[in-house]
């Protein structure tokens, strides 16, 4: 079930909710089963291994790097995958009062992509330890840790969203525009922003429908056109100013884009 992350976070910020239970499970390889979920909504935090879940027939693959949210009283099918033990932490919570939006956590199931977070792992470990202790102090600590876990999960999910979408594109395109006169490689850009070259290609295709190289070339040539219109710099200097060492190559790609040579473009403007 798709839901905008910002809407989900805002909803949790506005509604009263309280921790209901913490459960730590290790399941044998290839185990499967069908049941109904608890009468409360909850989170599945994978620790190791992999399992397939169906919430009301909608499939999710739970594994480290993701968090699965499930609703209350849903039909749940699950199967441990890859022949390895499946370990996870299930945290249930109770929502109080009427939810004043089109989001109902009791009827919601979705997946959050969070990547790897050492802090989240440490918080979950502390929650498991504290939940085993009786008393009001333990209950208070559990509630505090649960809110910290949600904060970290949402922060990581936001970061993952930005790393694959508009936010990342805006940061990289700004870098390209500020450094277009210098040598820029796709490999170095990917390394600098902590993603693979394939991810970088996907981000630019999704946002502007072209590769990083095409975007860089287009920006350089548009900038060159502007310099030809507004300055008297020789064509060779214009080429160098926008990152082209070879003036002949610059003239060739300029003509391919605008249909005229740099010198002809300048005469048109006179």
This prediction's pTM: 0.64
pLDDT(270) > 60: no
Other beta carbons within 10 angstroms of residue 40's beta carbon come to 21
40 contact partners, CB below 8 Å, separation of at least 6: 20, 21, 72, 92, 93, 94, 106
Beta bridge partners of 251: none
For residues 159, 169, 212, 236, the Cα torsion angle rounded to the nearest 10 degrees is: -130
Considering Cα of 160, then 219, then 230, then 182, what sign does the dihedral take?
positive
pLDDT(158) > 90: no
Higher-pLDDT residue of 269 and 186 is: 186
3-state DSSP call for residue 191? helix
Q: How confident is the model at residue 152 (pLDDT cuts 50, 70, 90)?
A: very high
Tokens of 257: 């884009």
- What pLDDT, on a 0 to 100 scale, did the predictor assign at position 159? 80
3-state DSSP call for residue 246? coil
Mean local confidence (pLDDT), 253-257: 94
Q: 88-102, 154-168, 190-204 — which is least confidently predicted? A: 154-168
Q: How confident is the model at residue 163 (pLDDT cuts 50, 70, 90)?
A: low
Mean local confidence (pLDDT), 78-92: 96
Averaged pLDDT of the chain? 91
pLDDT(3) > 80: no
Q: 159-163, 251-255, 265-269 — which is least confidently predicted? A: 159-163
Q: What is the pLDDT of residues 206-215, one digit of tens each?
A: 888 999 999 9
pLDDT(216) > 90: yes
pLDDT(266) > 90: no
């Amino acid at each position: 079930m798709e839901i905008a992350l910002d809407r989900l976070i805002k909803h949790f910020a506005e509604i009263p909710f309280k921790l209901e239970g913490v459960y730590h499970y290790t399941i044998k390889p290839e185990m499967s089963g069908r049941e109904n979920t608890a009468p409360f909504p909850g989170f599945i935090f994978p620790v190791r291994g992999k399992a397939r879940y169906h919430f009301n027939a909608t499939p999710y693959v739970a594994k480290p790097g993701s968090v699965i949210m499930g609703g209350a009283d849903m039909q749940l099918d699950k199967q441990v995958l890859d022949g390895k033990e499946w370990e996870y932490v299930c945290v249930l919570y109770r929502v109080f009062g009427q939810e004043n939006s089109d989001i109902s956590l009791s009827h919601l199931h979705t997946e959050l992509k969070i990547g790897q977070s050492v802090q989240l792992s440490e918080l979950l470990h502390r929650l498991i330890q504290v939940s085993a202790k009786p008393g009001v102090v333990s209950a208070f600590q559990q509630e505090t840790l649960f809110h910290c876990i949600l904060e970290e999960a949402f922060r990581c999910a936001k970061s993952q969203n930005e790393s694959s979408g508009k936010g990342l594109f805006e940061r990289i395109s700004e870098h390209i525009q500020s450094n277009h006169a210098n040598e820029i490689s796709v490999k170095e850009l990917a390394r600098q922003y902590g993603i693979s070259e394939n991810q970088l290609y996907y981000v630019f295709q999704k946002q502007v429908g072209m590769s990083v190289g095409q975007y860089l070339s287009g920006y350089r040539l548009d900038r060159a056109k502007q310099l030809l219109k507004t300055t008297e710099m020789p064509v060779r200097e214009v080429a160098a100013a926008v990152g082209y060492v070879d003036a002949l190559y610059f003239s060739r790609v300029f003509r391919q884009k605008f249909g005229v040579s740099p010198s002809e473009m300048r005469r048109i403007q006179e």
